[in-house]
Amino acid sequence: DRLHLSFAERAKVAKNPVAAQLFQIMATKETTLCLAADVTDATALLNLAEQAGPHICALKTHIDIVDDFHRNLITPLQEIAKRHNFVLFEDRKFCDIGKTIELQYSKGMYKISSWAQLVTAHALLGKGVLDVIKKAEGLEKRGVFLLAEASCSGTLIDAKYSKSTLKMAEEYPDLVTGIVCQSPMFLNNPGLIQLTPGVQIDIKADDVDQQYNSPESVVIEKGCDIAVVGRGITKAADTAVAAEKYKKILWDAYLQRIKK
């Protein structure tokens, strides 16, 4: 099953091209770390990308929090991603009617579809989101992570909703890269990637509603393939040292999991 197969084996069965690309990056760079680069300064974002670059498979942005965003930020970001071989991932969490998402995906200041190979989306309003992302202008190789569970306390998402999200994912195998969730759920398809946020070594929660698990427990007990780490790295004294530390713990946990 999914939890005991290697990423190299899973690359062969992935139907979404970005999932296949990610599995290959993970296997060759030996990293399952996705950095949540949640900073509000463009230069800080580029510095994070550069320093964490050798240790990550994906860089996840909330591009709309960058105070001094300018289109000129995208070219150097893409150059860093290419040089260090990681994927750019905009955590937009699309949730609207299809027509609106079509515009939010390709138009406006951010033109997400022109640079982000990966985006997140909610399944709440139905399949429209996947239909429009599939057809929109933009990069040829693209993928979507659907949010099926949340890391925060007080989420309104229940088991029935999670299961329906998974069903929707299975209906778009060429577009859906994977699922954002906190448990293995019913995700047995080895071609799909489980992305799990809420990962930190030192603390259990923030002062709002975020809840954290350790890197070992998310991989071994909760089925995480790619772990999202934000403040555990961005608030550390040395970005590269912290990223390398998470990478190693996560990779050892993955090796332990596939051996079982």
Helix axis angle, 74-84 relative to 42-52, nearest 10°? 10
Choice among 41, 64, 68, 93 that is catalytic: 93
DSSP code of 11?
A: H
Among 231, 236, 240, 248, binds ligand 6AU (CB under 6 A): 231
Among 16, 21, 104, 151, binds ligand 6AU (CB under 6 A): 151
Confirm or reject binding of residue 201 to ligand 6AU (CB under 6 A). Answer: no
Interatomic CA distance for residues 94 and 116, integer angstroms: 14
Confirm or reject binding of residue 157 to ligand 6AU (CB under 6 A). Answer: no
Applying CB under 6 A, which part among 76-84, 132-140, 215-223, 226-234 lies near ligand 6AU? 226-234
Q: Minimal CA–CA distance to 211: which of 195, 227, 197?
A: 197
Residue list 13-72, contact with ligand 6AU (CB under 6 A): 36, 38, 62
Cα–Cα distances in angstroms (integers) from residue 34 to residues 7, 86, 155, in the given order: 15, 9, 23
Choice among 96, 131, 206, 248 that is catalytic: 96
Confirm or reject binding of residue 198 to ligand 6AU (CB under 6 A). Answer: yes
Size of the site for ligand 6AU (CB under 6 A): 18
For residue 10 the two structure tokens come to 């899973």
Residues 174-193 vs ligand 6AU: string with x where CB under 6 A?
------x-------------
Confirm or reject binding of residue 210 to ligand 6AU (CB under 6 A). Answer: yes
**CB-hemisphere CA count at 13 Å for 200?**
18
Q: Is 29 annotated as a binding residue?
A: no
Cα–Cα distances in angstroms (integers) from residue 73 to residues 109, 117, 192, in the given order: 12, 16, 31
Helix axis angle, 42-52 relative to 239-259, nearest 10°? 50
Q: Interface residues with ligand 6AU (CB under 6 A)?
A: 36, 38, 62, 91, 120, 147, 150-151, 180, 197-198, 200, 210, 228-232
Catalytic annotation, residues: 91, 93, 96
